[in-house]
């Protein structure tokens, strides 16, 4: 008697998961920044009257509920992108009010709130980086992705290029020692696609891929190696000067006991230093920010002189330390006013990684087609 194959329920990462996570990440960050900016400009208005105050955490819950409903109800590809957008907005509106949830006085301005929001953002970035790396694809996972691509057939939007791409992926599956039932399914799909009607309309790439193509075209036109190097070096000079400004200003402002006393009084009155540990954190903030500022300037010099083999590791290490450690302290003491500079640091990190992939390493591997990584 033929033995029945056991079911396989192993999780499969959704095709395009990195794009959906990116949308969630960006909408999360922009929602927090936009909410804080709006409230600052409008004087923190109260939505409601009398005893009622409709806090924006409720709107966050509404967006999260809408994201869940969209993803549960609709199967279209656009629903996944819309759900990712709603999820990012919902989480941003929710986490922005974390200060009210961790204090008995419902203190929206509690100093620890900003570092908590930033830490959640960093964790989301970590999740994005984990799923951004293309995994090794099995025949079963490859067919999952191919079946998702066949949504274009149901939408009468399958172009010639898309059909050829799917046919090539099916060929890879059949050449990868797939189980007999999967090989048979791949063969049936090949036979169907060979005669499937294609659309005469031009191929429309996913919205993020469309912007990626435009960005690459702009990059090829305007960012030569020399210009790219100058932009990155200039960015590190600007960040280095900015990072050194606060430690130097603190050192210059405490030249006398009276000035030191005034600084401490300001920190205490703003509830930033409440005990000796708080003062120690302030000292660490001054020291680390100054050290990172010096490293930024050294990095700028190395890159400007063309010493990429030393400059790029310096750049990545300094930026990662600054983004993951120093910024947590800066957000505590400066609160959300440091969002702009943190955004510049993230952009510079992306720029360094892109410069390395283009000019500091041999041709990058093609990881755009996951089916090519079949074992």
What is the number of H-type helices and E-type strands within the chain? Answer: 16, 0
Q: What is the pLDDT of residue 195?
A: 79
CA distance 271 to 266: 9
Q: What is the pLDDT of residue 173?
A: 86
Six-digit token string for 6: 């056991």
CA distance 144 to 370: 12
* Closest C-alpha among 115, 21, 65 to residue 334: 115
The distance from CA 31 to its chain's CA centroid, rounded to whole angstroms, is: 14
Q: What is the pLDDT of residue 191?
A: 86
CA distance 86 to 93: 11
Mean pLDDT, consecutive 10-residue stretches, the chain (375 aa), reads 61 83 93 90 76 83 95 89 95 92 87 91 89 78 84 77 84 85 87 78 68 80 86 94 91 81 81 80 90 94 90 91 91 87 92 86 45 44
Ranges of each domain in the chain: 17-132, 139-199, 222-359
Sorted by sequence, the CB contacts under 8 Å of residue 214 that are 6+ apart come out as none
Q: What are residue 91's phi and psi, to 5 degrees?
A: -65, -40
CA distance 145 to 128: 19
């Amino acid at each position: 008697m033929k033995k029945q194959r056991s079911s396989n329920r192993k999780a499969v990462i959704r095709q395009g998961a990195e794009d959906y996570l990116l949308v969630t990440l960006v909408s999360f960050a922009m929602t927090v920044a936009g909410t804080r900016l709006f409230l600052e400009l409008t004087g923190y208005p109260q939505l409601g009257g009398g005893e009622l105050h409709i806090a924006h955490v409720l709107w966050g819950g509404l967006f999260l509920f809408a994201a869940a409903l969209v993803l549960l109800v609709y199967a279209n590809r656009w629903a996944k992108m819309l759900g990712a957008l709603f999820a990012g907005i919902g989480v941003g509106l929710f986490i922005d009010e974390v200060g009210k949830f961790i204090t008995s006085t419902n203190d929206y301005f509690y100093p620890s709130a900003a570092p908590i929001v930033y830490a959640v953002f960093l964790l989301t970035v970590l999740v994005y980086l984990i799923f951004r790396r293309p995994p090794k694809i099995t025949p079963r996972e490859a067919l999952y992705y191919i079946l998702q691509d066949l949504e274009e057939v149901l939408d009468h939007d399958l172009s010639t290029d898309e059909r050829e791409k799917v046919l090539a992926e099916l060929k890879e599956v059949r050449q990868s020692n797939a189980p007999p039932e999967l090989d048979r399914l791949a063969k049936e799909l090949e036979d169907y696609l060979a005669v499937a009607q294609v659309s005469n309309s031009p191929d429309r790439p996913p919205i993020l891929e469309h912007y990626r193509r435009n960005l690459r075209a702009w990059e090829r036109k305007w960012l030569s190696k020399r210009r790219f190097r100058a932009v990155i070096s200039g960015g590190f000079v600007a960040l280095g000067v900015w990072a050194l400004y606060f430690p130097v200003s603190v050192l210059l402002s405490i030249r006398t006991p009276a000035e030191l006393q005034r600084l401490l009084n300001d920190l205490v009155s703003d509830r930033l230093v409440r005990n000796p540990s708080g003062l120690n954190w302030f000292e660490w903030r001054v020291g680390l920010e100054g050290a990172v500022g010096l490293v930024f300037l050294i990095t700028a010099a190395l890159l400007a002189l063309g010493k990429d083999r030393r400059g790029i590791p310096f750049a990545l290490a300094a930026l990662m330390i600054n983004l993951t450690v120093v910024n947590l302290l800066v957000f505590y003491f400066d609160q959300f006013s440091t969002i702009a500079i943190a955004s510049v640091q993230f952009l510079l990190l992306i720029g360094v990684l892109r410069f390395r992939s283009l000019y500091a390493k041999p041709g990058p591997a093609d990881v755009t087609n996951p089916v090519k990584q079949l074992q």
